[in-house]
Amino acid sequence: MALIVHKYGGTSMGSTERIRNVAKRVAKWHAAGHQVVVVPSAMSGETNRLLGLAREITATPDGRELDVIAATGEQASSGLLALALQAEGINARSYAGWQVPVQTDSAHTKARITAIDDKRILAELDAGKVVIVTGFQGVDASGNITTLGRGGSDTSAVAIAAAIKADECLIYTDVDGVYTTDPRVVPTARRMNVISFEEMLEMASLGSKVLQIRSVEFAGKYRVPLRVLSSLTPPDMPLEQEMRSGTLITFEEDAQMEAAVVSGIAFTRDEAKITLLGVPDKPGIAYAILGKVADANIDIDMIVQNQSVDGTTDFSFTVHRNDFQKVLQIMETDILPAVSARQLIPDENVAKVSIVGIGMRSHAGIASLMFKTLADENINIQMISTSEIKTSVLIQDKYLELAVRALHKAFDLESKPQAE
C-alpha cells in the first residue's frame, strides 16, 4: 500500500461537521491499508480572527508574537481532527510543527522551510497510527515558532511529503480540480485531469488561486506528485473513484498531456502600474529605479523600457496592488529626484491576463492569435511579458472578464478532450 499525505484547507476544516467528514475520509484510506499523514489548515476565518485581535491591541504587532498567535489556529484544528479520528476508531496523534520538528529560517510571518526531521512521523506510521501535523508553521534555530505566510499549509504538506518520500500528496480543497480558467468568469471552463508542474507553476504565479506557488515550486524540485481534489464530495465515495478524481499535477514526461497548445487562461486583478517618463537612457538606470523597491522586499512583475529618444526613455513596471502606495512613496521620495524623471504616472486600474501551455514551445502564432483576439474586442494592450510556455498582457481592469472569455473561446479550451 502507499504512503499518502492529505492536506485539508480551511473550508474543509470549517466546522465540526466538516472535520468529522475529513476524519471519515482519512479513516477510509487508512482502512484500505495506506499510511496517512494529514496536514490541516486552521478552520476557515480563524487566522484572520486571530490576527485581527492582535491588531486591536497594536497597529504594529511584533512578528514573533504574531506567529505565536497565528499558529494556534492550526493546532486547534489538528487536535480536533485527532479526536474525530479517534471517535472513528483510528489511532491518531497530532503534532505541532515545532514537535516534528519542521525547521525554518527566522523570517517571522513569512518563514521558509529549511529541513524536516522525519523520524517521529515515520515511527508513528510504523506503529499503525494516522499522523496529523499542523500546516503553516515551524520552528527556527532559536526555538521560536514561525509561520510560512498565506497559503503556507500547502507548502507544509508538500515539504512533509518530500521529507517522508510519500507516493502522492493530495490537496483537498473546495474545488474539484484545476480548471482551464475560473469557472465563475467562464461557465464553460473545463476541469483538467492532468497538468504539468511547469504549467501549474505558471498558472499559480499568474493568479490561479488553486495552489500556493511555493508549494508547486517545492513539489517540482523534490518530484512529489500532487493531486488537487474536492473535500466536499461524500466521504464514503469509493476509494478507487476518489484516487482518480481531481487534477493530477505531474511531470511532463510522465503524463499523457492533452493535445492543447494552450492549457489555461490565468488572470489577476491585483496589479498596479507605475510609469516614469523622460528618465535618462544610460547604463544603471533600471537599477537606480528598482533597486530601492527591491530593498523594501517588494516584488516587481512586468517591466518595459521604451526606445531612447533624445537621450531619455520611458520606464514602466508593475507591482502587487497591496504594495502600490509604498512603491509610490519610494518613487516620490527617493527615485524621482535621483533620476530626474519628467513625470510619474501611477495606475491602479489594470489587470493581467495570461495564456499558459507547454505546447506553446513548438507552435508558432500563439501570441499573435492572443493579440488578434484582444484587438477584435477593442481591448488595448499596455504591456507584454513572455516565457517559453506563457504570454501575459496588461490591460485595463474593466476589460478583464471580457478578455478571459474571448481568449478561452479563441483557444477552444472548453471543447478539448480531457487526458486520461
Place of cell 522586499: 297
pTM above 0.85, yes or no: no
Whether 109 and 153 map to the same domain: the answer is yes
Q: Is 204 a domain residue?
A: no
Whether 375 and 229 map to the same domain: the answer is no
- Of 217, 207, 260, 206, give the one whose Cα is nearest residue 391: 206
DSSP string covering 128-140, please? Answer: T-EEEE-SSEEE-
Hey, what's the cell of 4? 499518502
**Low-confidence spans in the chain with pLDDT less than 50:** 255-259, 417-420
Which pLDDT score, from 0 to 100, does residue 154 have? 93
Which pLDDT score, from 0 to 100, does residue 415 have? 65
Helix (H) or strand (E) holding 71: helix 63-87
Whether 106 and 234 map to the same domain: the answer is yes
Q: Is 200 a domain residue?
A: no
For residue 352, the domain's CATH number is: 3.30.2130.10
Q: Is 188 a domain residue?
A: no
Which pLDDT score, from 0 to 100, does residue 419 have? 43
Whether 146 and 18 map to the same domain: the answer is yes
Write out the residue range of the structural domain in which residue 309 sits. Answer: 258-420
Q: Is 379 a domain residue?
A: yes
Give me the number of domains the chain comprises: 2
Whether 160 and 284 map to the same domain: the answer is no
Q: Is 183 a domain residue?
A: no
pLDDT in tens, 185-202: 999 999 999 998 888 888
Residue 112's DSSP bridge partners are: none
- Of 94, 101, 95, give the one whose Cα is nearest residue 143: 101
Helix (H) or strand (E) holding 173: strand 168-173
Which pLDDT score, from 0 to 100, does residue 420 have? 41
Which pLDDT score, from 0 to 100, does residue 254 have? 53
Phi-psi region of 278 (alpha: psi -120 to 50; beta: other; left: phi over 0): left
Q: Is 372 a domain residue?
A: yes
pLDDT in tens, 326-354: 999 999 999 988 898 899 999 999 999 99
